[in-house]
Structure 1
Amino acid sequence: MTPPPPLGVFDSGVGGLSVLAELRRALPGQDLLYLADTAHVPYGARPDDEIRALTERAVAALHAQGAGAVVVACNTASAFSLTHLRERFDMPIIGLVPAVKPAVQATRSGVVGVLATPGTLRGTLLADVIREWAEPAGVQVLRAVSTELVPLVEAGKADHVETRAVLREVLTPLAQAGADQLVLGCTHYPFLAASLRAEFGDTFALLDSGAAVARHTRRVLDAAGLLAPDTTAGTVRYFVTGDPARAAPVFAALLAETMHNGEEPHRAPAPRIERLHT
């Protein structure tokens, strides 16, 4: 029997590794191709048309590498590109939706926060889920935005005094307003958990959509006949559009964090990363 094609996973940078970890848990037999557009990260402040164009080029590159489906593991790219991609490519395209629904269901204060990039806040997906879930429940959604956090994670500073200062500035108003749930509206942001805990303790429950999108991806692949059996372990290939050597230490640290709950990530070996032009 011919094995199913690999699943492509795309993000503007290293943040999608948080989604990749959930996909590996949900799809242990699936071969995966991870592409980080490190030559153009961050996407959040870019014009809408440029975000769509960069995302299309990345998905086309993964398709050329043999991907039979692609997870757009980037909230900003998902906010602007999903409809366009589904019209352009004859394969399943799976995107991210901010985890507003579980935040609304879990809140006791009636106030939830969303930490996102400017691009995600401009897009329609966030507004749609707020309208569908928060407004009928009478839950107030407060938005916080930063252009600094993604570059800090990309620079290997997810748990750093500089990062904590940014989080303190942008999230203190949400804490003071009584938010008890914080939706992490960017795949880079789960890697900020240690900094968030250092600054805010248990003020916020942290929610992201990685596990949910992994479960959804399994259902989509199964329905399309693209799901690999779980009997053998799948492989992962890593690609970047920028400098592989520069990306390798950050990849190693964040991959170790997803596998070992943050214990001594600096001891993880650097993964083999290939350069891919899009």
Structure 2
Amino acid sequence: MSKHPIGIFDSGIGGTSIFKEIRALLPNEEIIYLADSKNAPYGNKSEENIIQLSIKNTELLLKKNCKIIVVACNTATTNAIDYLRKNYKIPFIGIEPAIKPASLLSASKAIGILATKGTLSSALFHKTSDLYAKNVTVVERIGEGLVPLIEAGKQNSDEIKKLLIGYIEPMLKANIDYLVLGCTHYPYLIPQLKEILPSHVKIIDSGLAVAKQTEAVLKANDLLNKEKTNGFVQFYTNSDVDILKTFVEDSFEVNYLDF
């Protein structure tokens, strides 16, 4: 199984930010990526619907012989990963907003979290927040409208910048010094965010931590690919192939798949 691919799924192209970290750390691993853009965003769906979509994506990756699955979506992780781990035998890697490091590192004792409704309202998010952010002011904002614009390739638009200013303003009034990105789509907004945020406010996302955890779990299960050559990468989307192509290297194969 060590030569089998790593599976990654997300509610669209956002998880490519996670893919890039995994690829950089584990270049010899073969990877299959599912972009469920047809059903994006997951953040405004019910928990039951998110679980059903996660099952659909998992089943497809299992048919493609994946040895581990990275749920590269904060909303799917916080709502569905417990179900997936209980019902499938392979390892799952999830993604949560980086509340812990932001809370521990904050000098102003105030942090901002920009995430989807599905993430912010989940039991797992509240459990993590209660555990690590008891002594910190947490300013939460739902990034309404951001994911559809990124999915349309408009991450650098004036429309996105206007939305971001509205979401960030209350955080700055609360004197945050860390902004946690709680959606894998949002790292693509970092250039825009840096124009809005004062220089002392640091941005945290979970990409590198997820890549390191993926490597650790592969090692623990003796699933690391020992080949020395770069592994193949395949992307599948059930929406616009051309938009997904703009988020990945030209050398990677991008295919349309009705799933």
TM-score band by shorter chain is: over 0.9
Aligned to 2:20: 21
SS in 1 for 2:247: helix
Aligned to 1:152: 149
Shift of 1:273: 1.7
Q: TM-score, normalised by structure 2?
A: 0.95
Alpha-carbon separation, structure 2, partners of 1:160 and 1:270: 27
Aligned to 2:53: 54
Aligned to 2:121: 122
SS in 1 for 2:101: helix
Alpha-carbon separation, structure 1, partners of 2:100 and 2:233: 31
- After superposition, give the CA deviation of every residue in 1:8-30 in whole Å (9 maximum; x if it has no partner): 00000000000001101221211
Aligned to 1:181: 178
- After superposition, give the CA deviation of every residue in 1:102-152 in whole Å (9 maximum; x if it has no partner): 1112211110010000000111222122112111xx111110112200011
Q: Percent of aligned positions with the same letter in both sequences?
A: 36
Aligned to 2:241: 247
- In structure 2, give the amino acid aligned to 1:9: I
- After superposition, give the CA deviation of every residue in 1:215-240 in whole Å (9 maximum; x if it has no partner): 01111111112111262211210001
Aligned to 1:232: 229
Shift of 1:251: 2.5
Partners of 1:44 and 1:147 within 8 A in 2: no
Shift of 1:276: 2.8
- In structure 1, give the amino acid aligned to 2:18: V
SS in 2 for 1:15: coil
Aligned to 1:272: 253
CA 1:166–1:230 in 2, change beyond 3 Å: closer, same or farther? farther
- In structure 2, give the amino acid aligned to 1:177: A
SS in 2 for 1:255: coil
Unpaired segments ≥5 residues, structure 2: none
CA 1:270–1:155 in 2, change beyond 3 Å: closer, same or farther? farther
SS in 2 for 1:254: coil
- In structure 1, give the amino acid aligned to 2:27: P
**Aligned alpha-carbon RMSD (Å):** 1.5
Partners of 2:114 and 2:181 within 8 A in 1: yes
- In structure 1, give the amino acid aligned to 2:166: E
Please state if 1:98 is matched with 2:97.
yes
Alpha-carbon separation, structure 2, partners of 1:274 and 1:163: 28
SS in 2 for 1:158: coil
Partners of 2:75 and 2:119 within 8 A in 1: yes
Please state if 1:65 is matched with 2:58.
no
Alpha-carbon separation, structure 2, partners of 1:116 and 1:3: 34
Aligned to 1:79: 78
Shift of 1:62: 0.7
Partners of 1:183 and 1:207 within 8 A in 2: yes
Aligned to 1:260: none
Partners of 2:8 and 2:32 within 8 A in 1: yes
Aligned to 1:266: none
Unpaired segments ≥5 residues, structure 1: 257-268
Paired positions, count: 259
- In structure 1, give the amino acid aligned to 2:233: V
Superposed structure 1 runs of 4+ greater than 6 Å apart = none
Greater fraction of residues in helix: 1
- After superposition, give the CA deviation of every residue in 1:42-85 in whole Å (9 maximum; x if it has no partner): 11101110011001100110111111110000000001101111
Alpha-carbon separation, structure 2, partners of 1:59 and 1:32: 14
Aligned to 2:207: 210
Shift of 1:170: 1.2
Partners of 2:9 and 2:33 within 8 A in 1: yes
Shift of 1:3: 4.9
Aligned to 1:191: 188
